[in-house]
């Protein structure tokens, strides 16, 4: 019996790990029924895998049997792998027992599609319902919405789950047709739109009635695979921008494609594009927290992000006319745009300068990282630079000069690139 | 030269603030009674903790500081690193002597330091909330030991009370030798010291004291941890930045694998 659970867990955790979302934040589910668990406020990462990703939720598939044959997916029908399926009770027991020992914040349940969308979705909902109603479980539940599932089931899922997600996976309709012929964009966007509507409706109702049922309080998210198809960073980021604005998604996750198949529809790569994935995340952050418009980050002239430097530095080098920024007088929004200065540092600077005129020494003490910022700022009109540099000189100086060490991973990937080229 | 000594409690430290203002004799050092060395120069002032005096200091601080700043000051006390008493004093004195709020004045050394300590202690608190691993004992108690860098046990109780409202649990700080026990109603501080057990064995359960399913779930967790990893993306540097080695002792997923699940 135990070894059976062991084997199922191996197979169904393995199959779920390419879904990168692991967030457990944004829920507002309090423990007010003297039950188990509490999912209000911040998320917690209980562990980290050896690839450096956070482990916050028990992330598993209910089953990896699947009727679809999507080229990029490890669970595709034509792939010769071991198949397994959990029972509803097994998932519930694992979740509760892991949660009680403080291993996890909750459950992230997805599934291969067996029989049809509704049949699969109904089982996912049943797990969540059982946890909430029979076990008074207030931990975090993230349910994957199966494309094509009925509105009623999605609505019911939202009553028990904190977050719902529908994965778009491929950043354009064309790639989706080539790699996942059984899926289409409208099948994905329809449930996304319906979730959005439910979210808006639940919010309206909660304004009117305090007891109105909550619907997925942590919102919805999606995932895009990077590097399995030919889209440029511009196409990917424009799509994210539309999703954030049009579907009010909480998060778009990006998953660097890990070669899981030798399908000839896919590019031949030896390693996942980790650096590219990282740059896209940085750009995503710039759009969400730094007030950047997607057009400022990528455009027709620069459709792809620079792999060597981060997108903010890249923007700064293209827009030298906006600098230097004077720390004692500049707007918060402009301080945020200085390469190397993040939200926390920018806030500290704006706060501290009310008390005394800031000098570089103050910035250092506050922990502001000047390695890149020093080329773009002044304190009381003083600069740390003795001369002006052209943008490409600056770029070289930041990358190689002043003892700056490039990340070992980057060097390694660039070297590989050169060998191939 | 004025050396102040106190009993080590937060109230005691606030009483020191009161006494120093009363005498207008600013401390050159503040030390705990048990460890204080008599000063060769200057006088030693032995402060007795006084609820009324410490209460007045705290109320005064409440009028001048936000909730966040008061928390930062209390965190500085729990930080326990050398010089924390002087920092708490300097911060309180600056707050009392300034016309306007001192918060955010990071150009003042003590404000900046208290802010940084607040962050450090908060991070350790958060790590304990994440890395504590409970083991279920035969009588249904969920038990964990910790040895945090700073004295954060008082700070994590609320978190676990809300999370595990329906299970009895205990967390024991084996370095500071005290713990917290929740009995389904409320939480109390406990002390496990007895003559019968050597200090090294505090909080270590013997095999027969575990719940029958404890080993099974520890092993399942290890299986899960191993299979959620993507070997193609291995990144040991990042891994270590997130869980420094000193925390591994808490984590069942970081303990040696039993042979049968090595496959």
| CATH number, domain containing residue A20 | 3.20.20.70
State both tokens at B60: 């005064």
Is A75 a residue whose pLDDT tops 70? yes
Residue of A nearest to B132 (CA): A102
Question: A404: pLDDT confidence band, cut at 50, 70 and 90?
Answer: very low
What CA–CA distance (Å, rounded) separates A179 from A161?
Answer: 30
The more confident residue out of B27 and A41 is: B27
Q: Calculate how close chain A gets to B96, using CA atoms only, in Å.
A: 17
Question: A214: pLDDT confidence band, cut at 50, 70 and 90?
Answer: confident
Q: pLDDT per residue over B177-195, tens digit each? A: 899 999 999 999 998 776 6
Q: Are residues A45 and A156 in the same domain?
A: yes
Cross-chain residue pair A348–B166, CB shorter than 8 Å:
no
Q: Calculate how close chain A gets to B110, using CA atoms only, in Å.
A: 12
Q: Are residues A287 and A389 in the same domain?
A: no
In DSSP terms, B140 is beta-bridged to: none
Q: Are residues A16 and A159 in the same domain?
A: yes
Is A418 a residue whose pLDDT tops 60? no
The mean pLDDT value for A82-86 works out to 94
Residue A44 resides in a domain: yes
Is B204 a residue whose pLDDT tops 70? no
* B79, B120 contact by CB (below 8 A): yes
Q: Calculate how close chain B gets to A125, using CA atoms only, in Å.
A: 23
Among B115, B163, B248, pick the best mutation site for testing chain A contact (most A Cβ within 10 A): B163
A409: chain B residues, CB-CB within 8 Å: 235
Among A25, A39, A52, A61, pick the best mutation site for testing chain B contact (most B Cβ within 10 A): A52
Strands of B165-246, DSSP E: 169-173, 178-182, 187-190
What CA–CA distance (Å, rounded) separates A57 from A127?
Answer: 15
Is B261 a residue whose pLDDT tops 50? no
Residue of B nearest to A41 (CA): B159
Please choose, from the candidates B21, B214, B215, the residue with its C-alpha nearest in 3D space to the C-alpha of residue B136: B214
Q: Are residues A205 and A80 in the same domain?
A: yes
Return mean pLDDT, chain A.
88
Residue A126 resides in a domain: yes
Residue of B nearest to A51 (CA): B234
Residue of B nearest to A19 (CA): B228
Residue A413 resides in a domain: no
Measured at the alpha carbon of residue A367, what is the angle toward residues A362 and A371, in degrees to the nearest 5?
95
Cross-chain residue pair B136–A59, CB shorter than 8 Å:
no
What is residue A38's three-state secondary structure? coil
Nearest to A366 among B106, B142, B243 (CB): B106
Question: A161: pLDDT confidence band, cut at 50, 70 and 90?
Answer: very high
Cis, peptide link before residue A324, omega less than 30° from 0: yes
B66 touching chain A per CB within 8 A: no
The more confident residue out of A177 and B197 is: A177
What CA–CA distance (Å, rounded) separates A203 from B99?
Answer: 44
State both tokens at B218: 């520890």
B248 touching chain A per CB within 8 A: no
Residue with tokens 């608190």: B125
Is A407 a residue whose pLDDT tops 60? no
Residue-wise burial string across B208-232, b where 16 or more C-beta atoms lie within 10 A, e elsewhere: eebbeebeebbbbbbbbbbbbbbee
Task: Give the total number of structural domains in chain A.
Answer: 2
Question: A262: pLDDT confidence band, cut at 50, 70 and 90?
Answer: confident
B210 touching chain A per CB within 8 A: no
Q: pLDDT per residue over A38-49, tens digit each? A: 887 678 899 999
Q: Calculate how close chain A gets to B219, using CA atoms only, in Å.
A: 9
Is B90 a residue whose pLDDT tops 60? yes
Nearest to B230 among A45, A101, A258 (CB): A258
Among A54, A103, A416, pick the best mutation site for testing chain B contact (most B Cβ within 10 A): A103
Residue A354 resides in a domain: yes
Percent of chain A with pLDDT over 70: 94
* A67, A77 contact by CB (below 8 A): yes
What CA–CA distance (Å, rounded) separates A213 from B216?
Answer: 37
Cross-chain residue pair A9–B129, CB shorter than 8 Å:
no
Nearest to B112 among A50, A354, A365 (CB): A365
Q: Which of A201-205, A371-375, B30-34 has the lowest mean pLDDT?
A: A201-205
Q: Are residues A329 and A277 in the same domain?
A: no
Report the predicted TM-score, pTM, of the whole model to 2 decimal places: 0.86
Cross-chain residue pair A17–B130, CB shorter than 8 Å:
no
Q: Are residues A335 and A289 in the same domain?
A: no
Q: Calculate how close chain A gets to B34, using CA atoms only, in Å.
A: 34
Cross-chain residue pair A13–B228, CB shorter than 8 Å:
yes
Nearest to B130 among A10, A45, A348 (CB): A45
Neighbours of A158 (CB within 10 A): 26
What CA–CA distance (Å, rounded) separates A411 from A307?
Answer: 11
Residue A398 has what pLDDT? 85
What CA–CA distance (Å, rounded) separates B241 from B229?
Answer: 17
Q: Are residues A13 and A123 in the same domain?
A: yes
Q: Calculate how close chain A gets to B65, using CA atoms only, in Å.
A: 16
Q: Are residues A271 and A370 in the same domain?
A: no
The more confident residue out of A248 and A142 is: A142
Domain boundary among A264, A297, A330: A297
Cross-chain residue pair B229–A45, CB shorter than 8 Å:
no
Nearest to B228 among A37, A59, A366 (CB): A59
Q: State the maximum Cα–Cα separation within chain B, in Å, rounded to a whole number.
A: 72
Q: At what angle do helices B109-131 and B153-163 cross, to 10 degrees?
A: 40
Cross-chain residue pair B217–A352, CB shorter than 8 Å:
no
Q: Are residues A293 and A323 in the same domain?
A: no
Q: pLDDT per residue over B102-130, tens digit each? A: 988 888 899 999 999 999 999 999 999 99
* A44, A200 contact by CB (below 8 A): no
Q: Are residues A288 and A324 in the same domain?
A: no
Q: Calculate how close chain B gets to A276, using CA atoms only, in Å.
A: 13
Please choose, from the candidates B63, B49, B53, B43, the residue with its C-alpha nearest in 3D space to the C-alpha of residue B9: B49
Nearest to A34 among B133, B144, B166 (CB): B166
Q: Are residues A250 and A342 in the same domain?
A: no
Q: Give the ranges where chain B is alpha helix by DSSP (H).
A: 10-23, 51-64, 67-79, 84-97, 109-131, 153-163, 214-227, 236-242
Q: Are residues A147 and A286 in the same domain?
A: yes
Is B206 a residue whose pLDDT tops 50? yes
What is residue B64's three-state secondary structure? helix
* A138, A37 contact by CB (below 8 A): yes
Residue of A nearest to B216 (CA): A2
Cross-chain residue pair A103–B133, CB shorter than 8 Å:
yes
Q: List the 110-129 stretch of B: residues with Cβ below 8 A of A.
A: 112, 116, 126, 129
How many helices (H) and strands (E) would you count in chain A? 16, 12
A91: chain B residues, CB-CB within 8 Å: none
Q: Calculate how close chain B gets to A74, using CA atoms only, in Å.
A: 13
* A27, A162 contact by CB (below 8 A): yes
Residue A52 resides in a domain: yes
B234 touching chain A per CB within 8 A: yes
B232 touching chain A per CB within 8 A: yes
Residue A66 CA, chain-centre distance (Å), reads: 25
Cross-chain residue pair A101–B216, CB shorter than 8 Å:
no
Nearest to A100 among B142, B227, B233 (CB): B142
Q: Calculate how close chain A gets to B30, using CA atoms only, in Å.
A: 26
Question: A415: pLDDT confidence band, cut at 50, 70 and 90?
Answer: low
Q: List the 16-35 stretch of B: residues with Cβ below 8 A of A.
A: none
Q: Calculate how close chain A gets to B229, using CA atoms only, in Å.
A: 5
Residue A304 resides in a domain: no
Q: Calculate how close chain A gets to B63, using CA atoms only, in Å.
A: 20
Residue A313 has what pLDDT? 95
φ/ψ of A215, rounded to 5, equals -130, 115
In DSSP terms, A137 is beta-bridged to: A36
Domain membership of residue A361 as a residue range: 319-405
Q: Give the ranges where A231-301 is alpha helix by DSSP (H).
A: 233-246, 274-289, 294-297
């Amino acid at each position: 019996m135990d070894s059976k659970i062991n084997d199922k867990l191996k197979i169904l955790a393995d199959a779920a790990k390419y879904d990168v979302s692991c967030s457990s934040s944004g829920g507002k589910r309090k423990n007010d029924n003297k039950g188990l668990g509490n999912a209000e406020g911040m998320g917690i990462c209980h562990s980290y895998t050896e690839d450096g990703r956070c482990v916050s939720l028990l992330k598993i598939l209910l089953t990896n049997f699947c009727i679809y044959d999507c080229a990029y997916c490890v669970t595709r029908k034509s792939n010769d792998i071991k198949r397994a399926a959990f029972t509803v009770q097994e998932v519930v027991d694992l979740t509760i027992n892991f949660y009680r020992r403080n291993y996890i914040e909750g459950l992230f349940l997805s599934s291969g599609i067996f029989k049809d969308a509704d049949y699969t979705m109904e089982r996912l909902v049943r797990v969540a319902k059982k946890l909430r109603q029979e076990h008074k479980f207030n931990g975090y539940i993230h349910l994957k919405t199966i494309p094509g599932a009925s509105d009623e089931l999605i609505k019911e899922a939202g009553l028990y789950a904190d977050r719902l997600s529908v994965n778009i996976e491929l950043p354009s309709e064309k790639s989706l047709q080539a790699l996942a012929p059984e899926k289409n964009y409208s099948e994905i966007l329809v449930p996304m739109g319906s979730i959005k509507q439910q979210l808006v409706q639940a919010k309206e109702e909660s304004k009117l009635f305090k007891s109105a049922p909550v619907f997925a309080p942590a919102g919805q998210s999606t995932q895009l695979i990077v590097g399995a198809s030919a889209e440029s960073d511009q196409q990917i980021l424009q799509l994210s921008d539309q999703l954030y604005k049009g579907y009010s998604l909480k998060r778009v996750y990006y998953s660097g494609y890990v070669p899981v198949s030798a399908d000839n529809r896919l590019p031949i790569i030896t390693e996942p594009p980790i650096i590219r994935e990282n740059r896209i995340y940085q750009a995503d952050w710039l759009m969400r927290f730094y007030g950047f418009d997607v057009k400022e980050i990528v455009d027709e002239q620069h459709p792809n992000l620079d792999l060597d430097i981060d997108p903010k530095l890249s923007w700064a080098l293209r827009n030298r006319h906006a600098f230097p920024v004077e720390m004692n007088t500049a707007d918060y929004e402009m301080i945020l745009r200085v390469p190397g200065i993040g939200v926390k540092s920018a806030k500290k600077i704006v706060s501290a300068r009310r008390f005394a005129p800031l000098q570089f020494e103050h910035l250092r003490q506050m922990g502001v990282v000047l390695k890149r910022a020093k080329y773009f700022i002044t304190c009381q009109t003083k600069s740390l630079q003795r001369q002006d540099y052209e943008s490409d000189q600056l770029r070289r100086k930041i990358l190689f000069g002043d003892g700056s060490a490039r990340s070992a991973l980057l060097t390694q990937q660039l070297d590989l690139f050169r060998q191939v080229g | 030269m004025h050396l102040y000594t106190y009993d080590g409690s937060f109230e005691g430290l606030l009483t020191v603030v009161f006494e120093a203002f009363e005498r207008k004799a600013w401390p050159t050092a503040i030390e705990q009674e048990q460890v204080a060395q008599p000063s060769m120069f200057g006088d030693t002032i032995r402060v007795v903790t006084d609820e009324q005096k410490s209460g007045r200091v705290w109320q005064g601080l409440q009028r001048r500081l936000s909730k966040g700043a008061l928390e930062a000051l209390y965190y500085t006390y729990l930080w326990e690193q050398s010089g924390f008493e002087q920092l708490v004093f300097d911060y309180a004195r600056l707050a009392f002597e300034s016309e306007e709020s001192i918060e955010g004045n990071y150009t003042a050394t003590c404000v900046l330091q208290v802010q940084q300590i607040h962050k450090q202690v908060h991070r350790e608190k958060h790590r304990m909330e994440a890395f504590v691993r409970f083991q279920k004992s035969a009588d249904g108690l969920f038990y964990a030991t910790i040895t945090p860098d700073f004295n954060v046990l008082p700070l994590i109780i609320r978190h676990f009370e809300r999370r595990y409202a329906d299970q009895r649990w205990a967390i024991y700080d084996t370095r500071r030798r005290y713990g917290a026990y929740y009995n389904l109603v409320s939480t109390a501080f406990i002390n496990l010291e007895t003559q019968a057990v050597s200090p090294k064995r505090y909080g270590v359960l013997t095999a027969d004291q575990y719940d029958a399913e404890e080993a099974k779930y520890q092993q399942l967790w290890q299986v899960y941890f191993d299979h959620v990893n993507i070997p193609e993306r291995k990144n040991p540097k990042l891994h270590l930045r997130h869980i420094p080695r000193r925390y591994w002792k808490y984590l069942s997923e970081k303990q040696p694998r039993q042979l049968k699940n090595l496959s």
